[in-house]
Copies of this chain bind each other. A is one copy, B any other.
Amino acid sequence: MATEQVKVNWLENMAFEAEVNGHKIIIDAAEPVGGENRGPRPKPMMLLALAGCTGMDVVSILKKMRVEVESYSVWVEGDLTEEHPKQFHQMRIIHEFKGKDLPMDKLEKAVNLSEERYCGVSAMYRKVIGITTEIKIIE
């Protein structure tokens, strides 16, 4: 059974230094809540996990399909509950592809394969929250 691990070491105030796959990342709170904004907040890391997971799936599927894009970005937005503990209850993924004469059917197929078969982050989140997906093409 595969196991993943991260460790965070407290630095001072609200700042922590994380080690993830051997790479260092500082996370910190914003100034109004006692931090110094030395790094991002922890909760958006949940959105980053989803954006990166589905993004990597899509680029590797498109490569197999021999679809070449000029550029590709993924936005993930998450809405938080009003009540505490504040948690995501809805997310939106927007895949934005730039390129000439891009085949929408293949882009859709790549995105759907990630969501239905490959992306383990999406699979876990979907058990508790709603996630919508949108594909945009920029010529």
Contact = CB atoms under 8 A, between A and B. Distances in A.
Interface of A: 1-10, 13-14, 16, 18, 20-23, 25, 27, 29-30, 34, 37, 39-53, 55-56, 59-60, 71-82, 84-88, 117-124, 127-129
A44 B20 contact: yes
A51 B18 contact: yes
A1 B76 contact: no
Contact of A45 (B46, B79, B85): B46
Sort A-B residue pairs by CB-CB distance and give the 9 closest, nearest first: A42-B52, A87-B120, A20-B40, A45-B49, A21-B40, A85-B120, A10-B72, A42-B53, A6-B47
A120 B87 CA distance: 5
Given A9-B71, A49-B49, A73-B9, A80 B123 contact: no
Q: Is the interface of A mostly helix, strand, loop or mixed?
A: mixed
A14 B47 contact: no
Contacts of A77: 3-5
